[in-house]
Amino acid sequence: MIIVTGGAGFIGSAIVWRLNQRGIYDIVIVDHLGETEKWKNLVPLRFSDYFDKSEFIESLEAGYFGNSIRAIFHLGACSSTTERNADYLIENNYRYTVRIATWHEENQGCRLIYASSAATYGDGEHGYCDKEDELHLLRPLNIYGYSKHMFDLLALRKGWLQHIVGLKYFNVFGPNEYHKGDMRSVINKAYPLVRDEGKIRLFKSCRDEYKDGEQLRDFIYVKDAVDMTLFFLDNPKINGIFNIGTGAARSWNEVAGSLFQAADRPLNIEYIPMPDNLKEKYQYYTCADMRKLRSAGCSHTCMSLEEAVREYVRDYLNLNAHLSFTPTQA
């Protein structure tokens, strides 16, 4: 079986969707649904069982699954970059991952692929290279990024990175992010305003070297992120930390232009002040260094920003649609 923690979430449910397309259905979903709308991501998918995250980790450690696990995609985490409860983030994002990795030490016949984050790079002062011997140089700007960085450092110290994979996802957007509230992509949040009122709001820049809307990010479509993730399922001898991005930095103005073009509306951007609580934690530039992943043999070509936004709007946002699998796709 394959286990996907965070399997009802954004990237996790997209991984289940792609596995279904490969004809894989013996999948255990691990998540915590609470009062969220995440359950809607699961409705169009096929899987064999569901565990709450607390029940799962206890069952895993107790040997409930025996030797039946082929791989664990550990995508489950609190991904809010504005969450301020450090104890919660460390328990949920760091300690929980430590427990899975500790179990994996005794069960290395199982593949373990976990989600780190590009938030670990902080303001990019030391670049965006995924070399493990440079991890100690990184300075995350928020506790979310630090909770991810803590595990990366531990995995390096303990030698776990010799037989597990950590993935630093950059700015992922696309279908199945609807439940994420303020953590949804700007594309998702802005589309109704673009469609109905013909305008978009972007943060003004607080740095002279960046004009308003010219802050740069590496935006990657969720389908591309998933295909790059599954490269590591298909290549079990490749381990370590890797960036998951496009390798191209695009501006928020370009995102807006792509969105207006997809919505067939004239460009109309309103620049608004950046909230005070974000000014010291805002990343003005991110761009994944993709050389390590390419050297490992991953040749996947990502969709352009314009193509991805067009598909997202046409096939999903316009229809309020989720990633959906039907057996005829197998």
User: How many C-beta neighbours within 10 Å does residue 254 have?
Assistant: 18
Q: Which pLDDT does position 328 carry in this prediction?
A: 63
Does 329 have pLDDT greater than 60? Answer: no
* Cα 81 from Cα 202, distance rounded (Å): 18
Q: Which pLDDT does position 314 carry in this prediction?
A: 96
26 domain residue, yes or no: yes
User: How many C-beta neighbours within 10 Å does residue 196 have?
Assistant: 10
- DSSP one-letter string for 48-96: SEEEEHHHHHHHHHTTTTTT---EEEE--S---TT---HHHHIIIIIIH
Residues 286-299: tens digit of each pLDDT: 999 999 999 999 99
Non-local CB neighbours of 135 within 8 Å, separated by 6+ positions: 149, 152, 153, 156, 241
Which alpha helices (DSSP H) does the chain contain, by range?
10-21, 39-42, 53-61, 86-89, 96-105, 143-157, 186-197, 222-234, 252-263, 276-279, 291-295, 305-311
The pTM (predicted TM-score) of the whole model is 0.94
Q: Tell me, what CATH number does 59's domain have?
A: 3.40.50.720
Q: Which pLDDT does position 235 carry in this prediction?
A: 97
Share of residues in the chain with pLDDT > 70 (%): 99
Q: Are residues 91 and 78 in contact, defined by beta-carbon separation less than 8 angstroms?
A: no
Structural domain including 129 reads: 2-174+220-246+290-302+324-329
269 domain residue, yes or no: no
Non-local CB neighbours of 91 within 8 Å, separated by 6+ positions: none
Q: Are residues 69 and 110 in contact, defined by beta-carbon separation less than 8 angstroms?
A: yes
Taking alpha carbons only, the member of 306, 199, 319 closest to residue 255 is 306
pLDDT, mean of residues 149-178: 97
Taking alpha carbons only, the member of 123, 175, 130, 121 closest to residue 312 is 175
Domains contained in the chain, number: 1
267 domain residue, yes or no: no
User: How many residues can be counted in the chain?
Assistant: 330
Residues 228-271: tens digit of each pLDDT: 999 999 999 999 999 999 999 999 999 999 999 999 999 999 99
Per the rule left: phi > 0, alpha: psi between -120 and 50, beta: everything else, 296 is: alpha
Does 330 have pLDDT greater than 90? Answer: no
Residues 69-124: tens digit of each pLDDT: 999 999 998 877 777 889 989 998 999 999 999 999 999 889 999 999 999 999 99
* Mean pLDDT computed over every residue of the chain: 94
Taking alpha carbons only, the member of 175, 142, 178, 77 closest to residue 281 is 142
Residues 214-227: tens digit of each pLDDT: 999 999 999 999 99
pLDDT, mean of residues 15-19: 98
193 domain residue, yes or no: no
Per the rule left: phi > 0, alpha: psi between -120 and 50, beta: everything else, 207 is: beta
Tell me the CA end-to-end span of the chain in Å, nearest whole number.
18
317 domain residue, yes or no: no
Residues 37-56: tens digit of each pLDDT: 999 999 999 999 999 999 99
* Cα 167 from Cα 132, distance rounded (Å): 12
309 domain residue, yes or no: no
* Cα 86 from Cα 303, distance rounded (Å): 36
Q: Which pLDDT does position 78 carry in this prediction?
A: 80
Residues forming the active site: 144, 180
112 domain residue, yes or no: yes
Q: Which pLDDT does position 79 carry in this prediction?
A: 72
* Cα 222 from Cα 174, distance rounded (Å): 5
- CA 266, chain centre distance (Å): 31
210 domain residue, yes or no: no
